[in-house]
Homo-oligomer: A and B are copies of this chain.
């Protein structure tokens, strides 16, 4: 292990990079394979099972993505404003814009139920690699292997759900080298407790997003209910009195979404040359579309706000990641590492079965690439960007899936995922016809541009109309905006759905055969890639030990690091910001949007202690999906909440470098000070700190 690391550091130094490799606080560790030894050696910290279990079960995952934590025994959940924004958007109307203006329920009776929102707590993990792999026989085609594996995974999940009543999910780790079963307790009655104004939660707006120093109160409190009463939770985080200070060791427990550090060069080239550029094209056209729609009126801006924020945020992430992949230094490291590993494998007769793995991945990746445009357009939502279309497809596939054996269904319609699907599908959420028409019209335009308006499926989809006419007709004629009808169709099954003659369902039906065919082709190639990675993973383990955590998979991970300043363009960037800094930044920009302050923050300025820490940075290894994760100290006490990474962290999707990569947190003391002095939220503060 040491050998590998010195070798890696040497390589990176040769390429002019420093602060990388095993000396760094790299790693998004599995809770069932925690970095116990590293923490002991580097920080003298003894990671006990009890400490770990407490943090694990205090950690919360939202069904729609994003992290959170329990912070009181009465089921109080803390997350980010931008994680809660989907719920806030759904609760808002032209009359009450909670997303923009904030919300506070001083009593439990005033807490607002959030339809369709689900919170999950990871209860335990079981390694099921052997059972999953046993289902794949030597000599199977990729497609057969994929189907066999899928059937076994479905059986494991169903069995577990029936035995434990916990949401059960088999997670693919190390790109296919391991399979672990994750079991979650679900909370489906989630209510809104407190949210600040967007203007302070997302202070600095898109310009400051992924920048540091920052001054954001990016928080949002919810409460989990069970049987109509606040959930009594055994594990929740106690609030630290002092919070974190520079040099402190902190731990981050959350759900990083995706990294690609263990990918082969062929896979990275695919990301660089195909996936990222196309995703960015999608995001930029969406950003222009929604930006232009939003500029027309305040109500439009309200309707599109969450979509627009998501598009901008994702665009910034992808732009940063693509810049990393286009940096010859980054790709140079990846090529050299792969070359070294392949050379070691080639020289070791024990590892003969891994030798072809890289070439197999390259071939499968090339085959995926050949279908990727069609796949993105037809099976992903690139060509059909519409909530209503998505309902139609879900209804169609869910009712049909019931006629198939569980093991043959697409994974999102498996028995084990059913109740979460129903929660989302039946939720009463607003649908705006004008916005739907706009989005669907633009994506149908892109479909026609991408596959050609004279391609036969495209012609059938457009039915002799222009993309905008067709979108308008579909959105105005479908009845799927009604949750009652969606529930009725769902319960009535394929028969009821067919009798409905809903044009959106008919559209979903029209494209389903080619979409399923593409899915099947691509899934088989992905299976081939998983099998090859299983071999590479085995070889790497043999050569280097378990020195690297698996790539992020939206599942719970433990990261750690120090609260630490850094240098940028020769200037020191401090580890913490203060309220004083917030007011100075606003003044520098003449209090103009996005640097304006909410009226309440202007009114209560004098009450605030200007030296209170507001945001801070640490070296812990995080990525998108970690938003809302708690930062805790050695005692497991809450010291802050992750809300962003700095711009240098964006290429950490491929390569973590400690020199400048930083995770951004709101400081625990800043939260209390704001709740007390600006929002006068006494009951909430009492629940958090007991006074």
Chain A residues at the B interface, C-beta cutoff of 8 Å: 205-207, 272-273, 277, 280-281, 284-285, 287-288, 291-292, 295-298, 312, 315, 322-323, 326-329, 331, 445, 448-449, 452-453, 462, 464-469, 589-590, 592, 594
Contact = CB atoms under 8 A, between A and B. Distances in A.
Contacts of A323: 445, 466-468
A281 B286 CA distance: 11
Nearest to A450: B277
A642 B296 CA distance: 23
Nearest to A281: B281
A331 B465 CA distance: 11
A319 to B, nearest CB: 8
Contact of A465 (B328, B448, B469): B328
Given A284-B288, A323-B445, 12 more contacts: A206-B295, A207-B292, A273-B449, A284-B284, A287-B288, A287-B291, A288-B288, A288-B315, A295-B594, A298-B589, A323-B466, A328-B462
A312 B295 CA distance: 13
Given A284-B288, A288-B288, A445-B322, A207 B328 contact: no
Nearest to A453: B326
Contacts of A465: 328
B292 A464 contact: no
A401 to B, nearest CB: 35
A291 B291 contact: yes
8 contacts: A207-B295, A272-B453, A281-B281, A281-B285, A292-B312, A298-B589, A329-B466, A331-B453
Contact of A326 (B297, B326, B448): B448
Given A207-B296, A284-B288, A315-B288, A277 B328 contact: no
Contact of A449 (B277, B285, B297, B453): B277
A125 to B, nearest CB: 39
Given A292-B206, A295-B594, A453-B272, A326 B445 contact: yes
Contacts of A284: 281, 284-285, 287-288
Given A273-B449, A292-B207, A298 B466 contact: no
A446 to B, nearest CB: 9
Nearest to A301: B592
Given A285-B284, A288-B287, A295-B594, A326 B466 contact: yes
Nearest to A295: B207
A356 to B, nearest CB: 23
Report copies per complex: 2
Contacts of A297: 589
A191 to B, nearest CB: 33
A303 to B, nearest CB: 14
Contacts of A273: 449, 452-453
A297 B595 CA distance: 9
Nearest to A312: B292
A466 B296 contact: no
A323 B471 CA distance: 13
Contacts of A312: 292
Contact of A464 (B207, B291, B328): B328
A298 B207 CA distance: 12
A277 B451 CA distance: 12
A206 to B, nearest CB: 6
Nearest to A595: B297
B206 A466 contact: no
B285 A327 contact: no
A287 B286 CA distance: 12
A569 to B, nearest CB: 11
Contacts of A467: 323, 326
A277 B442 CA distance: 12
A147 to B, nearest CB: 35
Nearest to A280: B285
A448 B288 CA distance: 23
Contacts of A328: 453, 462, 464-466
A277 B453 CA distance: 13
A385 to B, nearest CB: 15
Nearest to A463: B328
Given A285-B284, A292-B207, A589-B297, A466 B277 contact: no
Nearest to A593: B295
Nearest to A466: B327
A298 B298 CA distance: 21
A434 B454 CA distance: 44
Nearest to A208: B296
Contacts of A281: 281, 284-285
A449 to B, nearest CB: 5
A287 B312 CA distance: 13
Contacts of A296: 207
A601 B280 CA distance: 42
Contacts of A466: 323, 326-329
A97 to B, nearest CB: 14
Nearest to A594: B295
Contacts of A280: 285
A46 to B, nearest CB: 42
A59 B263 CA distance: 63
Contacts of A449: 273, 277, 322
Nearest to A276: B449
A584 to B, nearest CB: 15
A466 B16 CA distance: 14
Q: Which 8 A-B pairs have the closest CB atoms?
A: A327-B466, A207-B296, A277-B449, A284-B288, A207-B295, A284-B284, A284-B285, A287-B288
A467 B466 CA distance: 38
A464 B277 CA distance: 21
A329 B467 CA distance: 12
A280 B295 CA distance: 20
Contacts of A590: 298
A326 B453 CA distance: 7
